Amino acid sequence: MSTSVATTTPALRTYGNWRQPTSPGIGSLGLLATLVLLGGTVTAVITSMVFWPLAIVVVFFTIALLVPLSVHDRHRRNGFQVILSRLANRRAVRLGSDLYRSGPLSRVAQGKCRLPGIAAGIEALDALDGWGRPFALLSHPHLGQVTAVIAAASDGAALVDNDEVDNRVAHWGAWLADLGHEPGLIAASVTIESAPDMGTRLKCEVEHNIDEDSPALAQDVLSAIVESYPAGSAAMACYITLTWSTAPRTATGKRRSLEEMAVHIGHRLPGFTRSLGATGAGAARPMATAELASCCRVAYDPASNAAIETTSPAQSGIGWEDAGPAGAHEAWDHYRHDSGVSSSWFMGAAPAGHVFSNTLTQLLSPHPDIARKRVTLVYRPHDPGSAAKTVERDRLDAQFAASGKKFGRARDAISKSSADKSAEEEAQGAGLVRFGLIATATVLATSDLELAGVAMENMASASRITLRPAYGCQASAFAATLPLGLVLPSHLRVPQAIREML
């Protein structure tokens, strides 16, 4: 008599149900284009009753506005967005703002090498958190925002059971959802940086701890490890930035000072670092000013990495005012800075359908054709009040789009079902977060940019992500991938309400 035991393989958990914000309108037109169409039609009808040549002029201008608003490329950018980016780039070249020179012979105050572009106004303040750990409070005075940066030591998902991976993803989702309940927090980001391991830190660690009286065999083994271990390996770093607004909590209150924000954030950081441990982030700790300055300096000058790694950040002598490049030049499709040349991309579309927990593995992994690579996920959490309004408005927009067509499309039905599901999850207590992705690839020679671009496109395709080159804004996209807490929508001249109507 024989018995058999049936074994079942647990199904892999999938994730998804994200939606790109849409604007209600007639057909494929957004809300702004619909308002232009209706307003132009009413104006033309009224003016035709008084003076018909004027009505023709009104119709002409209405069509001239509608055509760029109704034509979109594959990244959902309308004609006005494409044209204005070209004009802005030409204006920057004409004014010379695409060039940056710093140092003793430059016009920069005190001859320092400050951060360029949208990061030029950031100031760093040293503070202590609730556990007595030093951290850097980055101030954006022109925006009324402050940022704290957390360094994580994630060990990845290698040799981790699927149940533990699901548990970590669940804790990460809960961590993001809790951001909406954090008072004053407006944005967060996660930066994963990969670069070839120079072996400098391992060599310094071994040389400082080796015992000269130890056996010769042990010393030979350690020397062999120092020589062979870094070959072909990569150094990975993870940074988590949290950005708060200094706006008053009440309508009659005053804007909070940097000292008040330092105390407030210092009390909150221990809770953030403790809760990150369950997400797989490892030992999380706040970063000091010297560490952030060294991180930015290496990003702008990759050739300085070997020299900076030989000493600790506190002993490197790099202050916040010397964290930027000595020179930089922004072109249409790349950005030259000190010893490196970089290209940046924005996420054009998130992965369609459901994904697994390892979807971003290919995009985050090091590549031999790329000297340094940074992938930054940016998050803008909604507070519970605005989250409820947003999902309800999105549900109504999806219903309007599905019911406004005589012959419904499958895509509209799926969009409506997804919006209903999001509203249901939000009503059950789930958080609502807007997210995006910015990627930067840095090489040491301009001739290697093409290979780096092909590698990034292949890695993005493997991760089912559509990347759009950051044409005309390479310097800003490069700075946005650094752990500086830059909230790009706050730097745009077009108000958020108008951009949502496009």
* pLDDT at res. 439: 96
* pLDDT at res. 70: 83
* pLDDT at res. 408: 56
| Strand 340-349 versus strand 433-443 pairing type | antiparallel
Domain edges within the chain: 99-197+232-382+431-493
- pLDDT tens digits, the chain, 502 residues: what are they? 444 444 455 567 888 778 777 777 776 677 888 888 889 889 989 998 888 888 899 999 999 888 888 888 877 788 888 888 888 889 988 998 899 999 887 877 778 899 999 999 999 999 999 999 999 999 999 999 999 999 998 877 667 788 888 888 889 988 998 998 898 899 999 999 988 766 666 666 677 778 788 888 877 787 777 777 665 567 889 999 999 999 887 666 788 889 999 999 999 999 999 999 888 888 899 999 999 999 999 999 998 887 887 777 666 778 899 999 999 999 999 999 999 999 999 998 888 778 888 888 889 988 888 999 999 999 999 888 888 888 888 887 777 766 755 555 666 677 777 777 878 887 777 788 899 999 999 999 888 899 999 999 999 999 999 999 999 999 999 999 999 999 998 888 777 777 777 6
CB atoms within 10 A of CB 447: 9
* Radius of gyration for the alpha carbons in the chain, expressed in angstroms and rounded: 26
Task: Write the DSSP string, 359-386.
Answer: TTHHHHS--TT-SEEEEEEEEEEPPHHH
In 180-232, alpha helices (H): 200-209, 216-228
Is there a contact between 22 and 394 (Cβ–Cβ < 8 Å)? yes
* pLDDT at res. 318: 85
Of the candidates 202, 197, 248, which has an alpha carbon nearest to the alpha carbon of residue 368? 197
Beta bridge partners of 481: none
Q: Let me know how long the chain is.
A: 502
Six-digit token string for 258:
């940097």
Cα distances (angstroms) measured from residue 120 to each of 70, 103, 109, 351, 439: 37, 14, 12, 34, 21
* pLDDT at res. 215: 84
Strands of 45-184 (E only): list them. Answer: 99-101, 123-128, 134-140, 145-152
CA–CA separation, 447 vs 452, rounded Å? 10
* pLDDT at res. 5: 47
CA–CA separation, 48 vs 425, rounded Å? 51
pTM: 0.88
Beta bridge partners of 378: 189, 436
CB atoms within 10 A of CB 258: 15
In 248-343, alpha helices (H): 258-276, 289-300, 305-309
* pLDDT at res. 253: 73
CA–CA separation, 195 vs 371, rounded Å? 6
Of the candidates 382, 311, 371, 383, which has an alpha carbon nearest to the alpha carbon of residue 341? 371
> Helix-strand-coil percent breakdown of the chain, rounded to 5?
45, 20, 35
Beta bridge partners of 330: 335
